[in-house]
Amino acid sequence: MLSGYDRVLEIFFFLRYFENKVVTLGDNNPFQKESLKLRPIADNDAVVVLEKTPIREDFLAELFRGSKLRLEMKNDIYSSYRLQAPPHLNEIKTTVVCPATEKHVKKYQRQESFLVEETGEDYRSITLPYIQEQSLSLQWVYNILEKKAEADRIVYDDPDPEVGFVLLPDLKWDQKQVDDLYLIAIARQKDIKSLRDLSSEHLPLLQNIFQRGKEAILQRYDLPASKLRVYLHYQPSYYHLHVHFTKLGYDAPGCGVERAHLLSDVIQNLQADPQFYKTRTLSFPLRADDGLLGRFKEAGRL
């Protein structure tokens, strides 16, 4: 739950910008993040994600000097305090999605999850038709590739239409420290939706992303490849091939074994079997309100 101080900031935010029109409040991670759905002035739904920023090591001395401590419990060698940090050290990263579709809203609401086992045939008969029916816009992805948006955030850009990609920080990373480093490599090829579309012909693209991405991160952030986790999601949050680069040790969203596939493993699997991801049974979690889960239930696959 958010602390009283954070709740004041939350209320201030939507009073100022959204006329106090809260529709629902969902909790993604009770330890660090909370999401709320608002109906702004223009009657478009919006999702606002409030997330506590990581504590920076270089601010620790200032944090202890300028904070107020209130004792909550003491027992022998153990004690618990409530620390109120100076405002400039108590930032809340705020992400706004507006206008937000129903899918956006559901994404940030807490839901029970189920593990689905999808065969190659399941993908062709259940998942792919469902994806095609959704017609989700990828314009924001194309804007990045064409440098119509976020051009100043690009860390590396390979313009080659076949093996090229754009590397930039994920919005979940505030870029203030490398402990929670999170970048996304977006492929320039527009006809690769997910792992299921990959074959041996895409090995040059995957190898280029893997190698050039690591080199760019080393050059920009002085972080070697041995400290990186490089992976793809299945199912992905959007159906245009992209690769996640996160710092090893950072518990990034979606880095669990039920969803993340190491890029090095993907490359080796395709080298051993060019059609590996077109035939392999893949497991992934789906939330209770996900329409794709309903399709698997209707087909008797869950």
* Residues annotated as part of the active site: 242
117 assigned to a ligand binding site: no
Please say whether the beta carbons of 48 and 35 come within 8 A. Answer: yes
| The residue type at 225 | A
Both tokens assigned to 244: 């996640």
Pairing of strands 113-118, 156-158: unpaired
Please say whether the beta carbons of 45 and 108 come within 8 A. Answer: no
243 assigned to a ligand binding site: yes
236 assigned to a ligand binding site: yes
| The residue type at 236 | P
170 assigned to a ligand binding site: yes
172 assigned to a ligand binding site: yes
3-state DSSP assignment of residue 108 = coil
Please say whether the beta carbons of 301 and 122 come within 8 A. Answer: yes
Q: How many other C-beta atoms can be found within 10 angstroms of the C-beta atom of residue 209?
A: 27
Cβ neighbours of residue 282 closer than 8 Å, sequence gap 6 or more: 117, 118, 123, 195, 196, 234
Q: What is the secondary structure of 116-165 as a DSSP string? A: EEE-HHHIIIIIHHHHHHH----HHHHHHHTTSSSGGG-SEEE--TTT-E
Q: Find the helix packing angle between 203-221 and 263-272, rounded to 10°.
A: 160
242 assigned to a ligand binding site: yes
3-state DSSP assignment of residue 20 = coil
Both tokens assigned to 162: 């076949």
139 assigned to a ligand binding site: no
DSSP label of 90: S
235 assigned to a ligand binding site: yes
183 assigned to a ligand binding site: no
- Phi and psi at residue 75, to the nearest 5°: -150, 105
C-alpha triplet 151, 155, 157: angle, nearest 5°: 75
50 assigned to a ligand binding site: no
Bind-site residues: 140, 150, 170, 172, 233-244
Bind-site residues for substrate: 140, 150, 170, 172, 233-244
